[in-house]
A and B are shown apart, each in its own frame.
Chain A
Amino acid sequence: MIDIIDLGLKIGGVEILSKISLTLHGGEIVGLLGAGGSGKSALLRSIAGEYRRFDGEILIDARPLLSFSRRELARTITFHAGPPENPEETVGEFLKLARAPFKKMLDPLSDYDLQLVDECLAGFGLEEKLDMPLGTLSGAFLQRAMLAFCFARNTDVLLLDEPTAGLDIRSLVLLQKMLYRHVIGGKKTAIVGSNDLNFIAQTADRIIILEGGTPVMMGGAEIIDTDTVKRFFGIDVFVSKNVYNGKPNVHFFPEN
């Protein structure tokens, strides 16, 4: 469980986040929405422990975030970082590196580690890319490899910032399934910051909308409606209901 108590963050004297108080439970997929600059990434980075100076408190299972060592943090929280920079690493070898926080120096990967890596490879449909260097993958497959890396870490807290960027529709479905699987045991939490309203509406158990670094609306998928989109994103849209699950589908019109 993550408790955020009166969180405030300033970078270079500019207030990025203010007065954020939230409780995020295990077994929950939380979607962060908001226009560009609303503080989604800053909030995710704060929870990831990337900022060491902030007001208020962030507690992970009742323990202050700042009391975690770097290794403990790596074993507890996964943050979706930028793309991998070594194009020569094969997909399979890259994913094995995800288990590093749980290994001491020279410790070989256990059968459990390899099984976890296999599950993530299969979960993101990367089996056929196993021996391919990262540099030869398309944008969508590289993003899938990156996401598989995050899931292979199998930490209690999974933070994904714009995970749908560059993903095709099949990849979106795979990501959605993997998120469900990740939280299904009830202990793990996934927080997804995204501009993809439809993905968040279809996937998240709870949606938090940020504006100016503060949560301004919170609730289930039903909070996504024409008024909300008009208010926070400044455009007119049509919101229908997904015939399969009744969750909102946002349609926008270029001329609007």
Chain B
Amino acid sequence: MTRASNKTLFAEYGSSVLLGVLCLSVAALNGAFSGINARGFFMLFAASVCAVLYWRLVKTENGFGGGYIQSGEGAIALLGILIAISFLLPHRLLAVACCLGASLAYGFLMRLFGPGAWGGIFMNLCAIAAGWYVTVSADVSHSFIEGIISGYSRNAAGYPWEGPAYLLLCFALYAAALALRRELRLFAHGQGFFLITGLGYGGLRAAIIAVRAFAVSGIALFVGLLAGTVVIGRSSGIRGEKTAAVELKGFLWVTLFLQAMVFVSSVLGTVPAVILAAAISCAPNFFPRRDYAHD
């Protein structure tokens, strides 16, 4: 068993430098033309951190693969915001709490019912109920829905401290997940393996569900449907690989994607950008590189 040499590390991280430059270029374009403020940039980066945090946690639980913004836990989070804001108009922080609450409830209920038929039925009932509410409610305007699906990062309103605070919190949780990576990998192999760490199984399981809900809520709040399926779903090849270089590359890809979609939405409008985001991010699912059902 050998350690990676410096030469190998340089080769692995080389492409990330190029991606980083591209990210900064698109971010500069957004700064100049999209009217996105500093708080929005912080939120966009926070969404990218949430995405890599989410991928890390998705690997730990068998049977609870990654969902998407359009369906599954992402949709629940988004609908949580939608319903909450409709009722609690216009208190933003309450909406944030409702989004997180909806994700948390969904996470725990899915584990309660199981990932099979009951979980699916529950998820679809929630989606139908929320869809019905949004359709029939006279209070919900098209511009309001558009504001939600493009995410808070595009919204000019809000406290200046929100962006940095969210980003810091996301980084802190990601750092914790990194620090616990050995324990999380043992967790993924089952309770018998995890117990050799000397930590409590139930406590970590609840923490994983909670942080996963936080990550999903963050993505839904900050970028909405502009995330396409890339952010919490995943693009081919990311889930099965574990090196830091691959994770950094994944982070930069998502950042680039989100920045690009924000730019497209400022040029073409939100709805075309959402359609484009979904189309581009779904494309990798049709490549024949998938090894597992949820790849």
Instruction: Name A residues whose Cβ lies closer than 8 Å to a Cβ of B.
Output: 69-74, 79, 81-82, 84-89, 92-94, 96-98, 100-101, 103, 105-106, 114, 117-118, 121, 133, 153
5 smallest CB-CB distances across A and B, nearest first, come from A71-B198, A81-B192, A86-B188, A74-B196, A70-B198
Question: Of the candidates B180, B185, B190, B198, which one forms a contact with A81 in the assembled complex, judged by CB atoms under 8 Å apart?
Answer: B190
Inter-chain CA distance A135–B182, complex, in Å, is 19
Given the contacts A96-B1, A105-B179, A89 and B189 also touching, CB distance less than 8 Å: yes
Question: Of the candidates B186, B240, B292, which one forms a contact with A100 in the assembled complex, judged by CB atoms under 8 Å apart?
Answer: B186
Inter-chain CA distance A172–B157, complex, in Å, is 69
B 277-295 binary contact with A (CB < 8 Å = 1; else 0): 0000000000000001000
Interface hits, B185-202 → A, CB 8 Å:
185-186, 188-190, 192-193, 195-199
Total residues of chain B contacting the partner, CB 8 A = 23
- Least Cβ–Cβ distance between B233 and chain A, in angstroms: 17
- Least Cβ–Cβ distance between B66 and chain A, in angstroms: 13
A residues near B192, Cβ cutoff 8 Å: 79, 81-82
Residue of B whose beta carbon sits closest to that of A94: B189
Given the contacts A92-B1, A96-B1, A133-B240, A74 and B197 also touching, CB distance less than 8 Å: yes
B1 lies within 8 A of A114 (CB): yes
B190 lies within 8 A of A84 (CB): yes
Inter-chain CA distance A84–B189, complex, in Å, is 5
B residues near A98, Cβ cutoff 8 Å: 196
Is B62 engaged at the interface, CB distance under 8 Å to the other chain? yes
Residue of A whose beta carbon sits closest to that of B200: A70
Is B92 engaged at the interface, CB distance under 8 Å to the other chain? no
Is B73 engaged at the interface, CB distance under 8 Å to the other chain? no
B residues near A96, Cβ cutoff 8 Å: 1
B179 lies within 8 A of A88 (CB): no
- Least Cβ–Cβ distance between B179 and chain A, in angstroms: 6
Is B239 engaged at the interface, CB distance under 8 Å to the other chain? yes
Q: Find the residue from A73, A103, A105, A153 having the highest chain B CB count within 10 A.
A: A105
B residues near A87, Cβ cutoff 8 Å: 292
Residue of B whose beta carbon sits closest to that of A87: B292
Instruction: Name B residues whose Cβ lies closer than 8 Å to a Cβ of A.
Output: 1, 59, 62, 179-180, 182-183, 185-186, 188-190, 192-193, 195-199, 239-240, 242, 292
Inter-chain CA distance A71–B230, complex, in Å, is 39
Inter-chain CA distance A114–B198, complex, in Å, is 21
A residues near B197, Cβ cutoff 8 Å: 71, 74, 100-101
A74 lies within 8 A of B1 (CB): no
Residue of A whose beta carbon sits closest to that of B3: A114
Inter-chain CA distance A89–B180, complex, in Å, is 16
Q: Find the residue from B1, B186, B190, B239 having the highest chain A CB count within 10 A.
A: B1
B239 lies within 8 A of A88 (CB): yes
B residues near A114, Cβ cutoff 8 Å: 1
Inter-chain CA distance A178–B190, complex, in Å, is 25
Inter-chain CA distance A234–B259, complex, in Å, is 73
Inter-chain CA distance A88–B292, complex, in Å, is 9
Q: Find the residue from B185, B193, B240 having the highest chain A CB count within 10 A.
A: B193
Q: Find the residue from B62, B196, B197, B292 having the highest chain A CB count within 10 A.
A: B196
Inter-chain CA distance A101–B183, complex, in Å, is 10
A100 lies within 8 A of B182 (CB): yes
Inter-chain CA distance A133–B292, complex, in Å, is 12
Residue of B whose beta carbon sits closest to that of A98: B196
Q: Find the residue from B179, B195, B239 having the highest chain A CB count within 10 A.
A: B195
Given the contacts A97-B193, A103-B182, A133-B240, A89 and B198 also touching, CB distance less than 8 Å: no
A85 lies within 8 A of B189 (CB): yes
Inter-chain CA distance A178–B167, complex, in Å, is 50
A residues near B59, Cβ cutoff 8 Å: 86, 88
Inter-chain CA distance A96–B199, complex, in Å, is 18
B190 lies within 8 A of A100 (CB): no
A70 lies within 8 A of B188 (CB): no
B residues near A70, Cβ cutoff 8 Å: 195, 198-199
A residues near B179, Cβ cutoff 8 Å: 105-106
A85 lies within 8 A of B62 (CB): yes
- Least Cβ–Cβ distance between B190 and chain A, in angstroms: 4
B193 lies within 8 A of A84 (CB): yes
A residues near B1, Cβ cutoff 8 Å: 92, 96, 114, 117-118, 121
Inter-chain CA distance A93–B185, complex, in Å, is 10
B residues near A72, Cβ cutoff 8 Å: 198
9 contacts between A and B (CB under 8 A): A69-B198, A70-B199, A81-B192, A86-B185, A86-B189, A100-B186, A105-B183, A117-B1, A121-B1
Residue of A whose beta carbon sits closest to that of B240: A88
- Least Cβ–Cβ distance between A210 and chain B, in angstroms: 23
